[in-house]
Structure 1
Amino acid sequence: MRLLPLILALLAPAALAASPAGTETLRICDDGGGWPPYIWQDGSTADGTPILKGYSVDVLKRIADDAGLDFKIDMLPWERCQALLKRGMYELALGASLNPERERDYMLSHAYYQTTSVYFYSRQRYPKGLAVQQLPDLKKYRVCGLHGYNYETYGLGPKDVDRGTSQFPQLIAKLHAGHCDLFIEKREVMVGFSLTDAKMKRLLHDTRLTSAPVPGVTATSFHMMLSRATPRSRALLTLLNAGIDAMAENGELAKLRKRYLP
């Protein structure tokens, strides 16, 4: 990033010097279920190492390469990733929305992408649609969600959402089986799944499944989430924020968005 050679030169050595266990590799975890087009697994290498692709991977690689940092991403159940991050077993997680608990327990980078929210429901069960005119109307229905995901943006607390599954196919199956009336997801993520996962494409193109915008919700910002329990976390936060800001200013973030969401 041509705008940042001085700050990167200053920050990277500080980060490396504080690196735990004497390693320069940045330890990252993310949601094992995938979150396309931001991150997903696209096969494996000959030795079984997952090949990870996506917008978040590209943004991170751009910043890390300029800082001389290597990184390794482990795909874990999302709730486990967050728990290990909090304990300092990992330094960073990608693509986290904001809520008070996360702002208390972690450090969060500047936003590096935004998403729009829609709710999905069964056209077969509700041919005339759902009566959702404003955000509180969601509570009139049984809402399903994914284990460890954040739904506070929609005014839904832990008791308002059945989070008994961690995979989208099971979530859609619960909807069609009548175990819930709707689930909420990001439009961009559903587009990402339809482009990268054949099974999900079939499920999302099922004529029984339909969607509508969530009323009263602005675009949701997503951030990189850092552990407070690792010695170089503040240096890494400064590094990530500088990189994200520079990529936004020079148009690189916009180009990446177009690549993954044409």
Structure 2
Amino acid sequence: MLATRHIVLFLGFSLSVEAALADSLHVCVDKNPLPPFVYSEKINGAGQLRGYSLDLIKQLLTGAGSAFDIKSLTTADIQKKLQSPDPKSGCDIVLDINKTPAQEAFLWLTPPIYQLNYDVMYSWERYMTGMGVKSLADLNKLKMCGINGYDYGSLSKQLKIKLIPNVKDAIFELKDKSCDGFIAEGVVMRYGQRMNSYQVPPVGCIRLDGTAKTYHIGIAKHVVGANLLLSKIQQQLTILSAKSGSLSKLAETYDVNAISCQERLNVSP
């Protein structure tokens, strides 16, 4: 009798989890665009969200049979909703998460969906044969710029980085030689150059080996059945990876593969 009761309770719990997952999941994306991963583009005169990470999560959730909607919110609102213990807070899934203990306190993370490196971008017209640096000490003799709010990790302790409010201003300082080099994730810069978003001049780059960061899809721990959802998404990610060229085609569509730099410099953590 007791065993039967346990089976009934387990089935009841499983059904309640499945019912909760049947409700629309809220995928929250930052209003601050992060091309080519999530951004808005005018299509037929109307703004439409697209990007590598957004297309990927749509495919994964559709494959998992999970209903979902997309919400565009401020960074502060997303963080508040994700950290809330309330399952109805309004944010269940978030994209482009760098794995840190702080994030893992309230999120379950998928395996990496992409990896980025920091590169030193410099004006090709100014340094046609490269910057010729051999060490971080050499870089510190030059004027390095970065973006305020970026997580430069150990680089910020090893390099003197002048922080600029946004990418457009940093590009301007690169053009007028207020900065000798601009430390950025080269993939993001390449997209801006391709779309003429930042009016990026012809640039060369130095790959900063040792600065790689992986990015993940995060599922809020307050989601009922979060572990089951994580398992379903990981299963779909495995299926998509196994499909001939599926992920590669998506990466090619949004040009998210690592850029090729003329020089390399090793950075110890």
**Alignment TM-score > 0.5, same fold:** yes
Unaligned runs of 5+ in 2: 1-13, 258-269
Give SS of 1:69's match: coil
Give me the CA root mean square deviation.
3.8
Deviations 1:184-231 (A, max 9, x none): 223332332333x3333xx22x24xx2323232375432113333444
- Check the 8 A contact 2:120/2:206 in 1, yes or no: yes
Instruction: Tell me the SS of whatever aligns to 1:237.
Output: helix
- For 2:66, the aligned partner's letter is L
| 1:239 equivalenced with 2:232 (yes/no) | yes
> 2:252 maps to what in 1?
258
1:257, CA displacement in angstroms?
1.8
What residue is the counterpart of 2:51 in the other structure?
54
Cα separation, 1, equivalents of 2:156 and 2:214: 18
Matched residue, 1:3? none
Identity %: 23
Aligned to 2:98: 97
AA partner of residue 110 (structure 1): P
1:221 paired to 2:214: yes
Q: 1:242 to 1:134 in 2, by over 3 A?
A: farther
Structure 1 Cα separation of the partners of residues 19 and 149 of structure 2: 31
Distance 1:137 1:90, change over 3 A: farther
Mark the CA change 1:123 to 1:98 in structure 2 (over 3 Å): closer, same or farther.
same
User: SS state of the match for residue 156, structure 1?
Assistant: helix
2:108–2:230 Cα contact (<8 Å) kept: yes
Structure possessing the higher radius of gyration over alpha carbons: 2
Query: Is 135-144 or 235-244 further displaced after alignment?
Result: 135-144
Normalising by the residue count of structure 1, what TM-score does the alignment of the two structures yield? Answer: 0.70
Task: Tell me if the contact between 2:24 and 2:69 (Cα under 8 Å) persists in the aligned partners.
Answer: no
SS for the counterpart of 1:199 is: coil
CA contact (8 A) 1:226 1:233 kept: yes
Q: Which amino acid aligns with 1:57?
A: L
More helix by percentage = 1
- SS of residue paired to 1:223: strand
Residue 112 of structure 2 aligns to a residue in which SS? coil
Q: Any gaps of 5 or more consecutive residues in structure 1?
A: 1-10
Residue 249 of structure 1 aligns with which residue?
A: 242
1:127–1:259 distance in 2 versus 1, CA, 3 Å:
closer
Distance, in Å, in 2 between the alignment partners of 1:233 and 1:147 is 34
- Is the contact made by 2:17 and 2:224 (CA closer than 8 Å) also made in structure 1? no
Distance 1:82 1:45, change over 3 A: farther
User: What TM-score, normalized by structure 2, do the two folds share?
Assistant: 0.68
Amino acid of the residue matched to residue 198 of structure 1? N
